[in-house]
Chains A and B, each alone.
Chain A
Amino acid sequence: DAMVIQNPRYQVTQFGKPVTLSCSQTLNHNVMYWYQQKSSQAPKLLFHYYDKDFNNEADTPDNFQSRRPNTSFCFLDIRSPGLGDAAMYLCATSRERGAAYIQYFGAGTRLSVL
């Protein structure tokens, strides 16, 4: 059974039209991450939550926002998508503490911007 679920799997939006991507987890992990991955590149961390503590990467554009209303859900909001924001967006979780901070990834949402 899927433990990190991303919806939708494919999202098409128009230039400048706000879009929200969602991620839910059944693992009860404290840490949730959002990555952006463009073709043939490594995943790039946008931000992560440790519980409700939000940690933004210095180079994440202001156009990207996130919300975590509870442990299970996390959202990525792109306020005004540009053509350069077309990418795969990956959500991942990890435990607060444990033998290893293994990350569990969702299947990803592929965003297209027209």
Chain B
Amino acid sequence: ELKVEQNPLFLSMQEGKNYTIYCNYSTTSDRLYWYRQDPGKSLESLFVLLSNGAVKQEGRLMASLDTKARLSTLHITAAVHDLSATYFCAVTTSGTYKYIFGTGTRLKVLA
């Protein structure tokens, strides 16, 4: 059974600081996704990572994928308050249309 774990579960950080969220998954996966969710809102797709070594960047967020280690990271550079949200990673397995979500990381950026 495919399992997806994130850490940390909660992250409180100061504006201007850097930090990394980790996403580990238990079996081979061919695609990894990062989503953002604001309180009471739906999920917004941030990144799709398709291959080993893939790196995507958007603003202060950068995501990477290491399929050999079964690890993805979401790096936050010089955090700002607007980044406060819950971030989920999700993986799919080849040939299925099922997404397995991680536990989520609740990020709070303090001014």
Contacts and interface: CB of A to CB of B under 8 A. Distances in A.
Interface stretch (B12-20, B37-45, B60-68, B75-83): B37-45
A103 B44 CA distance: 9
Interface in B6-51: 31, 33, 40-45, 48, 50
Interface string A29-55: 001010000001111010010100001
Given A104-B45, A107-B42, 20 more contacts: A31-B97, A40-B104, A42-B102, A42-B104, A43-B43, A43-B88, A45-B98, A48-B97, A55-B97, A55-B98, A90-B43, A92-B43, A100-B31, A101-B92, A102-B45, A103-B33, A103-B43, A105-B42, A108-B41, A110-B40
A106 interface: yes
- Interface range on chain B: under 10, 10 to 19, 20 to 34, or 35 or more? 20 to 34
Contacts of A102: 33, 45, 48
Contact of B99 (A45, A107, A108): A45
B15 to A, nearest CB: 24
A107 B97 CA distance: 21
Nearest to B49: A100
9 contacts: A31-B97, A40-B104, A42-B103, A43-B101, A48-B97, A55-B98, A103-B33, A107-B42, A110-B40
- By secondary structure, the B interface counts as strand
Contacts of B33: 102-103
A105 B50 CA distance: 20
Contacts of B92: 101
A90 B48 contact: no
Contacts of B98: 45, 48, 55
Contact of B42 (A90, A94, A99): A90
Contacts of A50: 97
A101 B31 contact: yes
A108 B42 contact: yes
B97 A42 contact: no
Contacts of A31: 97
B69 to A, nearest CB: 21
